[in-house]
Amino acid sequence: MKILAVKLPDVGEGVTAAELVEWHVKIGDVVREDDTLAAVMTDKATVEIPSLYSGTVTWIGGEVGDTLAVGSDLVRIETDAEAPVSADLADEPARAPEPEGVVPTVEDAPVTASEKPVAPAGKVIVAVKLPDVGEGVTEAELAEWNVAAGDIVKEDDVIAAVMTDKATVEIPSLYSGKVVRLGGSVGEVLAVGSDLVLIETDAGAGSSGNTPSPEAPAATASKVDAAKPAVQPVARPSPARASAVPANGAPRAEGQPPLASPSVRARAREAGLDLRQIAGSGPAGRITHADIDAVFDMPRRSPGQAAPPGRAARTGTEEIKVIGMRRKIAERMALANARIPHITVVEEVDVTALEELREKLNAGRGDKPKLTVLPFVTATLAKAVLDHPEMNAHYLDDDGIILRHAAVNAGIATMTDAGLVVPVLRNAEALDLFQTAAEITRLSEAARTGKAKRDELTGSTFTITSLGPLGALATTPIINHPEVAILGINKMATRPMWDGTQFVPRKMMNISASFDHRVIDGWDAAVFVQRIKSLLETPALIFMET
Amino acid sequence: MTSLTCTLLIIGAGPGGYVCGIRAGQLGVDTIVVEGQKPGGTCLNVGCIPSKALIHAADEFAKARSFAGENELGISAGAPSIDLAITVAWKNGIVKRLTGGVSGLLKKAKTRYVQGQARIIDGKTVEVATADGPARITCKSLVIATGSKPFELPFLPFGGTVISSTEALDLETVPQKLAIVGGGYIGLEIGTAMAKLGAEVTVVEAAEHILPQYDAELTKPVLARLKELGITVHLSAKAKGLSEDETALVVDLGKDEIDILADKILVTVGRAPVVDGFGLEDLGLSMNGKFIATDAYGATSMRGVYAIGDVTGNPMLAHRAMAQGTIVAEHVAGLPSVWDKKAIPAVCFTDPEIVTVGALPGEVPGSVAAVFPFAANGRSMTMERSDGLVRVVYDPSSELILGIQAVGAGVSEMAGEFSLALEMAARLTDLGDTIHAHPTLGETTQESALKGLGRALHI
């Protein structure tokens, strides 16, 4: 058994770091090869990282919201390297224990060297590897051991001296803890990067509670390398650390006032807690901050208790970390709103003709995908920007440059479970209606399932946002910085319109377009919106080469 | 008549009232503080501060006198003299600076200050006789912080040779013979100072001990020092009144009556709350003996009326009033503050000083005390004062500290650590395992805790 690390892989071109957005495993979990370990997010895409090994997770590389560099350890997995375990790992230790196995004697416990100790609850076993001791050095000879198995070492204590062909180098410990295994005997030659010693050290914060059941370490420990020096490394599982669970102290005797420091008292007062109701876990029964924490962590109502009749006031707040996609969206929205003075123009469009055309085009399609309004809108846009190239542009405000684009790369704002993403329909001007429809379907599907590629999520020149049936009367879309305009499509409805002599039912739809008022004047905005309106009202114009 | 309105009106700008005013101002409560005399109350004007100034001057003078004679330090100096009028003027300067400071702090907190005698009309209305004529102030909440005054004995009314602490702190000459009725802390503080300034001092105490609220272990070093200073102490003695020629105090010693010749007779038999003469009676508040009854928020029996400080009972201490004032201000501002203090330290600036915090020995059933003397403290020896001790009272089963007391020169400055230990619910190990700087008096606190743990080092 050994501990292997699954590193954060290169998840995309030019990506050097990724944010942890979700853990699928925790310390102590048994994973199989290809099980998903975690989801990480880069600039735009969320990627799931599979496990490379089967085994037990002994260490995780961070908390949700942390950013990891590509190549850093994501999780460490304790695994049987020689024979990848296909059977359920958790079962294995259960077969092992025999009474004498729990505290094996040094002589009678022949154990293969490949087996690896398992950390007791609250501890993890980490390896100090033979570091790169010099240029071109790939191996070194163990010259001296400064520690033996069972020794307590501190970080930076020298654990061994190794000799290369150039020099003797002392190797310091990277961790504080108990040495459970030496990587070889003096005279042996070790490769750079191989385990020099294994050290049992305190588990990382938050790991407690997820540690494997006590039986597992005890049993596995029985098979620990006992041929090594007299000290039995981890025969007894050390008791779980006291701090793991904020134990509630014993209740106070009658008449004993609660003991708490002024800051604890103030906190209880602010929270409306009665300290007399709280048992103290501190010395002399002192109520500590941890005891108050425990009260807050308790479920509001005990399971057996029935809900009170009638309406109850809801109390409490839930803290939700803004991470991953949501944080990205928040940052981009804030940037757009802070930098861009928006002007929004709302106009109503008579889409009766467009709808008739759409119906006819869809009529003969049978089972094939039907057209929605969106392909018409992108086509309209591709047409309209011919006369208004200033709308299909990026305003690089930091550089003071407006970049007009020849291609119409339409960003299609798409709602996904993770939040808003904008896949890009490239060269909308070069696609016909059905190609557009197919591409939009493909892109939004990719975005919803998180499979959109990086270049499918970047490079839009003009964004379209449509809430479909939820489209409301008008919206005030936020421009997708650094673009200069955005087109919002509102809900379509049949409304009575006055045709000069009578009211007639017309299919009406509003459009809400926002413009960057720094570079687009109100006049131009209005003219552009009118152009869109006239194209949509007379759809034949969209397809005429004029 | 001028008419003012505010949210919070505080009658009395003593330590309770002005702190309440500052805190309320900080919290954005529209507040007025009314004071009939000078801001700062008894504490700043005729109590804590002036008495400490006098004690300091007396100590310096006593030191100078000791240097005039043979002394262990080998210092020789001429016989000193003191012009008490100059001392008093210096003291008044300090008082003026501090009272001016109080006005400044109130102003900084945007709390208004109105000078003039207040009269309560009802729970929301107060009339103030200001220099510019009467002003009527209406408020939402009212705080009574009128403090206390020296208790007057009917058979020894103040006036002439019979003086209270207020006058004693303003004497321009040192009385040749000073008789003090009452061996409590006020009488002994002033008596000790006057003895050091050269007065012949006699203390008459009705109880069997001086400083009756303390136990003998704490008062013994003080009594010894009083004797050293040549102060005569009559215990279980009752003052009867002035002799007919008004030159002596008649004292009943039980067996016989004696006349104690005195050119000043200082009566310090306690202080009485100021609860009448300004319309308070008309509110009909629930009383607790002579004092106004309040709850843990400082609220009285009338809605919107609060009381803080000496009017709410013993101990009559400035820092208690300040804490109460803070709580009332926060309560009025809607904060969930409540009186939850574990201990109010009390300091007696006698020579040596006494500090008490929390439970005395025997007060809590099952508690034990550990004592460490200053005689085993290096710093004490270098200050030529190794009398006194630190005593920690604790629960032997949990090691929880229940009280800490000390008697010794300069122990008043140790009060903070004692109080903190109690408020933090410290155990002996907390004190014992805390490094205390060497060489300081504070090491004695650590040692007393270690003694309780059975591992004191320097004894």
Q: Cβ-count burial of A507 within 10 angstroms (0-12 exposed, 13-18 middle, 19+ buried)?
A: middle
Q: A47 and A76 in contact (C-beta within 8 Å)?
A: no
Write out chain A residues lying below 8 Å of B336, CB-based: 269-270, 272
Provide the shortest C-alpha distance from residue A280 to chain B (in Å).
12
Chain A residues lying within 8 Å of B429, measured CB to CB = 283
Q: Which helix (H) or strand (E) is A515 found in, with range?
A: strand A503-516
Yes or no, beta carbons of B336 and A270 under 8 Å apart: yes
Start-end of H helices in B251-347: 318-332
| Residues A370, A433 contacting (CB under 8 angstroms) | no
Task: Catalogue the long-range contacts made by B311-316 (C-beta closer than 8 Å, 24 or more residues apart).
Answer: B311/B144, B311/B145, B311/B146, B311/B147, B311/B148, B311/B273, B311/B274, B311/B275, B312/B273, B312/B288, B313/B273, B313/B288, B313/B289, B315/B344, B315/B346, B316/B148, B316/B271
Answer yes or no: are the C-beta atoms of B2 and B29 closer than 8 Å: no
For B164, phi then psi, to 5°, come to: -105, 180
Annotated catalytic residue within B209, B319, B438, B458: B438
What digits encode the pLDDT tens for the residues B218-273?
A: 999 999 999 999 999 999 999 999 998 889 999 999 888 999 999 999 999 999 99
Contact A269 B399 (CB under 8 A): no
The dihedrals phi and psi of A366, each to the nearest 5 degrees, come to 60, -125
For residue A371, the model assigns a pLDDT of 87
Q: Are B249 and B239 in contact (CB under 8 A)?
A: yes
Q: Within this chain, do residues B276 and B264 fall inside the same structural domain, yes or no?
A: no
Q: How far apart are CA B204 and CA B181, in angstroms?
A: 5
**Residues of B in Cβ contact (< 8 Å) with A273:** none
Query: Is residue A265 less than 8 Å (CB to CB) from chain B?
Result: yes
Give the pLDDT score at A118.
61
Cα–Cα distance measured from residue B411 to residue B378, given in angstroms and rounded to the nearest whole number: 15
Cis peptide before B352 (omega within 30 of 0): yes
- The reply to whether B420 touches chain A by the CB within 8 Å rule is no
Residues of A in contact with B399 (CB under 8 A): 283-284
Asked if residue B230 and residue B175 are part of one domain, the reply reads: yes
Same domain, B389 and B424: yes
Q: Quick check: bond before B439 cis, omega within 30?
A: yes
| Residue B309 in domain | yes
Asked if residue B75 is part of any domain, the answer here is no
- Rounded CA separation B128/A389 (Å): 78
CB contacts of A265 in chain B (<8 Å) are 340
Specify the pLDDT at position A304: 54
Residues B354 and B415 in one domain: yes
| Tokens, residue A477 | 């879309």
Minimal Cβ distance to A284: which of B340, B423, B427: B427
Indicate whether B80 belongs to any domain: no
Q: Which CATH fold would you assign to the domain A1-89?
A: OB fold (Dihydrolipoamide Acetyltransferase, E2P) (2.40.50)
Q: Do B321 and B380 lie in a common domain?
A: no
Least confident stretch, A8-12, A213-217, B77-81, B139-143: A213-217
Task: Single out the residue of A153, A521, A509 nearest to residue A358, CA to CA.
Answer: A509
Q: Give the closest residue to B249 by CA, choosing from B237, B257, B238, B261.
A: B261
Which residues on A lie below 8 Å from B340 (Cβ)? 265, 269
Best of A252, A254, A259 to mutate (most B CBs within 10 Å, chain B): A259
Q: Please tell me if the domain spanning A117-242 has the same topology as the one spanning A260-295.
A: no
- Residue B355, domain member (yes or no): yes
Residue B71 lies in a domain: no
Q: How far is CA A460 from the centre of its chain?
A: 25
Indicate yes or no: CB of A284 within 8 angstroms of CB of B340. no
Question: B424 CB near a chain A CB, below 8 Å?
Answer: yes
Residue B459 lies in a domain: no
DSSP structural state of residue A85: -
Nearest residue of A to residue B422, measured between CA atoms: A261
Quote the domain boundaries for residue B252.
Answer: 162-269
Regions of chain A with pLDDT less than 70: 13, 43-44, 81-122, 134-136, 165-167, 203-250, 299-310, 546
Per-residue pLDDT at B358: 95
Domain boundary (B254, B269, B284) is at B269
Instruction: Answer with the one of B240, B269, B298 that is the final residue of a domain.
Output: B269
User: Residue B156 above 70 pLDDT?
Assistant: yes
Asked whether residue B58 is assigned to any structural domain, the reply reads: no
What distances in angstroms separate CA B266 from CA B162, B165, B183, one per listed residue?
6, 7, 11
Q: Where are the domains of chain A?
A: 1-89, 117-242, 260-295, 325-543
Model pLDDT for residues B404-453, shown as the tens digit of each residue: 999 999 999 999 999 999 999 999 999 999 999 999 999 999 999 999 99
Q: Is-contact B333 B27, C-beta < 8 A?
A: yes
Domain end position, chosen among B290, B308, B332? B332
Interface A-B, measured as beta-carbon pairs within 8 A, has a size of 29
Token pair of A501, please?
């002599």
Task: Count CB neighbours of B178 within 10 A.
Answer: 26
My answer on whether B198 and B100 are in the same domain is: no
Q: What is the dihedral of CA B379, B354, B401, A271, to 10 degrees?
A: -110
Contacts of A47 (CB under 8 A, 6+ apart): A11, A12, A18, A39, A40, A41
Report whether B271 contacts B310 (CB < 8 A).
yes
Of B337, B338, B427, the CB nearest to A283: B427
pLDDT tens, residue by residue, B315-347: 999 999 999 999 999 999 999 999 999 999 999
Rounded distance, CA A479 to CA A341, Å?
Answer: 10
Picking from A328, A483, A334, A489, the residue whose alpha carbon sits closest to that of residue A416 is A328
Q: So what's the pLDDT on residue A546?
A: 61
Q: What is the bridge-based pairing of β-strands A139-145 and A46-50? A: unpaired
Strand, coil or helix: what is B321?
A: helix
Please indicate, yes or no, whether residues B278 and B289 belong to a single structural domain of this protein: yes
Q: Say yes or no: B308 and B411 in one domain.
A: no
Same domain, B121 and B181: no
Nearest Cα neighbor of B144 from B271, B23, B304 is B304
Asked if residues A285 and A259 have their Cβ atoms less than 8 Å apart, the reply is: yes
Q: CATH second-level architecture of A117-242? A: Beta Barrel (2.40)
Catalytic site includes residue B56: no
CATH number at residue B320: 3.50.50.60
| pLDDT reported for residue A303 | 52
**Interchain pair A283, B340: CB under 8 A:** no
Paired tokens of B54: 């006098």
| Distance (Å, whole) CA B320 – CA A459 | 70
Point out the least confidently predicted range of A416-420, B107-111, B366-370: A416-420
Residues B18, B107, single domain; the answer is yes
Q: How many domains does chain B have?
A: 3
Position B434 in a domain: yes
Does residue B9 sit in the same domain as residue B107? yes
Same domain, B143 and B34: yes
Residue B291 has pLDDT above 50, yes or no: yes
Average pLDDT score, chain B: 95
Distance CA B379, CA B307 (A): 43
Contact A270 B337 (CB under 8 A): no
Decide if B340 touches A, using CB distance below 8 A.
Answer: yes
Q: At residue A540, what are phi and psi to the nearest 5 degrees?
A: -55, -35
Domain spanning A325-543 has what CATH number?
3.30.559.10
Secondary-structure class of domain A260-295 per CATH: few secondary structures
